[in-house]
């Protein structure tokens, strides 16, 4: 029987590499074959084949000398929002189609310092604005589980690459669910740590107060192995935290004695298959010895009336804040400081031609951000959103004094078909279950938990209080084991 190295877990392939039973060159060669044979998925914007083979040779020499690092010889894909020195970095935008950074992002540098190999830069929604990876200048990415469906977004290419056995893990960015939602759609694990755990230096900004690096993998343990390497204080990013953490890879699955909360009102927002899957997860946790309790919307916001939805306030807060930060962050792309230079006969046309390189969704959010900042709307929208976030964090802190984690579906439904026409409002509502973790600066993880009637994956999400990744991972590993066995 011939071993298919592409389908092994990161943990398994790492063990084989460390023992010298397989060469990094062999691994890279097999993965490149897989990527090329599945090019129709369009998971990659740039395939770094020559660089990967060179890095594999370096890893092989280090292994031969008996000095392997923690991720030695392991190919990893990187969302094209992270700057990689001397490697094309586009943010899936025409604006940056020729941008080759002269520096490396902090999190990718940590990966290379750990011996990891860059296999390629993955497709995404332009400037991380979207929930389907359909807004990319480089074409739509497809879901490996069914090419007629989207992989989710904005980190859809990274999710597709992992699900399609084109790498052992991938980096993504998560502003409102952009790691967890595509992980759910593609049937893999998506892990967003607490805000401040990972440096944002070298990550092309969308909404700076919410953006955070995350990891895709095919198991919780694999995601933890990578996350352990990229967490930590960074001198180039003052928002990073020196808060201590346990080595996530070594955490043992445990739910006995844990208290886990869920919000019953959210069950009204999901499809039948997703609700049944959620109920199964609750029953599995209870059978494992956990106490599962209900959390009322009133506990999280006492001003919510009987005819109002708490999720509407979360969405309104998120979309009052992120376009404003996008408006600020994207103002630098003027073709002079950043962005592709477009010639014109006068300065006004120069700016118009340059800014026209943005796609429709990016333009929409820039315009929305500018609209919110108009004098008469500033206090009514942006300032109100900032105040609401503070109140939201206080209320959730009270809840996290009672529970170790909160359980919910990752998405209200499974992947939808490519080309499905959704209004901007409907597309924004894709993140109704994932947004709270970003607003709270909290860690959250999506794990595959089953399939719906059409065979598309379902994800279940766990969220813990900020800097409490350890408890969340204990529960996630237990739930992953049990859900994979159907709760038996």
Q: Is the dihedral of CA 166, 170, 172, 177 positive or negative?
A: positive
121 is catalytic: no
Cα separation of 303 and 274, whole Å? 28
Residue appearing with tokens 């200048």: 137
272 is catalytic: no
Cα separation of 335 and 369, whole Å? 21
DSSP string, 426-459: HHHGGGTTTHHHHHTT--EEEEEEEE-TTS-EEE
Cα separation of 342 and 45, whole Å? 23
Task: Fill in the DSSP letter of residue 254.
Answer: -
Backbone angles phi, psi at 190, to 5 degrees: -130, 120
Catalytic-role residue among 23, 59, 79, 192: 79
Compute the radius of gyration of the chain from its Cα atoms. 22
Task: Fill in the DSSP letter of residue 125.
Answer: S
Catalytic-role residue among 23, 93, 155, 178: 178
Q: Helix or strand or coil: residue 338?
A: strand
Catalytic-role residue among 59, 154, 155, 184: 154
| Burial of 252 per CB tally in 10 Å (0-12, 13-18, 19+) | exposed
CB 473, CB 445: distance < 8 Å: yes
178 is catalytic: yes
The C-alpha torsion from 365 through 366 and 369 to 370, rounded to 10°, is -150
Contacts of 22 (CB under 8 A, 6+ apart): 5, 13, 16
Cα separation of 88 and 485, whole Å? 42
Catalytic residue annotation: 79, 154, 178
């Amino acid at each position: 029987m011939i071993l298919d190295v592409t389908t092994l877990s990161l943990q398994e392939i790492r063990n084989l590499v460390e023992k010298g039973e397989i060469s990094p060159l062999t691994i890279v060669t097999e993965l490149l074959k897989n990527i090329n044979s599945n090019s129709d998925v369009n998971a990659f914007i740039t395939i770094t084949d020559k660089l990967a083979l060179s890095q594999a040779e370096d890893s092989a020499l280090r292994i031969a000398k008996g000095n392997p690092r923690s991720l030695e010889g392991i190919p990893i894909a990187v969302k094209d929002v992270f700057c990689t020195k001397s490697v094309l970095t586009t943010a899936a935008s025409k604006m940056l189609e020729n941008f080759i950074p002269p520096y490396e992002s902090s999190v990718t540098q940590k990966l290379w310092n750990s011996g990891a190999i860059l296999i390629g830069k993955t497709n995404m929604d332009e400037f991380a604005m979207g929930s389907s990876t359909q807004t990319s200048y480089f074409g739509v990415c497809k879901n490996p589980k069914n090419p007629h469906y989207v992989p989710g977004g904005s980190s859809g290419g990274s999710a597709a690459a992992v699900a399609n056995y084109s790498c052992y893990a991938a980096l993504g960015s998560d502003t409102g669910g952009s790691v967890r939602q595509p992980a759910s759609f593609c049937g893999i694990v998506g892990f967003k740590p607490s805000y401040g755990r990972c440096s944002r230096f070298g990550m092309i900004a969308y909404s700076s107060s919410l953006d955070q690096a995350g990891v895709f993998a095919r198991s919780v343990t694999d995601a933890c192995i990578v996350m352990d390497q990229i967490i930590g204080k960074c001198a180039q990013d003052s928002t990073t935290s020196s808060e201590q953490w346990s080595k996530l890879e070594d955490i043992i699955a445990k739910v006995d004695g844990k208290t886990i909360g869920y919000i019953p009102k959210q069950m009204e927002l999901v499809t039948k298959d997703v609700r049944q899957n959620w109920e199964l997860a609750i029953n599995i946790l209870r059978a494992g010895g956990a106490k599962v309790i209900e959390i009322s919307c009133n506990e999280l916001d006492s001003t919510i009336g009987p005819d109002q939805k708490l999720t509407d306030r979360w969405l309104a807060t998120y979309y009052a804040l992120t376009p404003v930060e996008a408006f600020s962050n994207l103002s630098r792309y003027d073709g002079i400081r950043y962005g592709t230079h477009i010639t014109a006969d006068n300065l006004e046309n120069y700016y118009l031609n340059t800014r026209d390189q943005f796609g429709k969704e990016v333009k929409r959010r820039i315009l929305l951000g500018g609209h919110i900042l108009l004098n008469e709307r500033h206090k009514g929208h942006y300032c109100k959103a900032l105040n609401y976030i503070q109140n939201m964090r206080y209320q959730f802190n009270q809840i996290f004094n009672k529970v170790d984690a909160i359980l919910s579906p990752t998405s209200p439904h499974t992947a939808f078909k490519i080309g499905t026409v959704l209004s901007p409002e409907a597309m924004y509502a894709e993140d109704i279950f994932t947004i709270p973790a970003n607003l709270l600066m909290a860690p959250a993880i999506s794990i595959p938990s089953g399939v719906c009637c059409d065979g598309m994956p379902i994800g279940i999400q766990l969220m813990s209080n900020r800097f409490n990744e350890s408890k969340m991972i204990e529960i996630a590993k237990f739930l992953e084991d049990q859900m994979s066995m159907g709760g038996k």
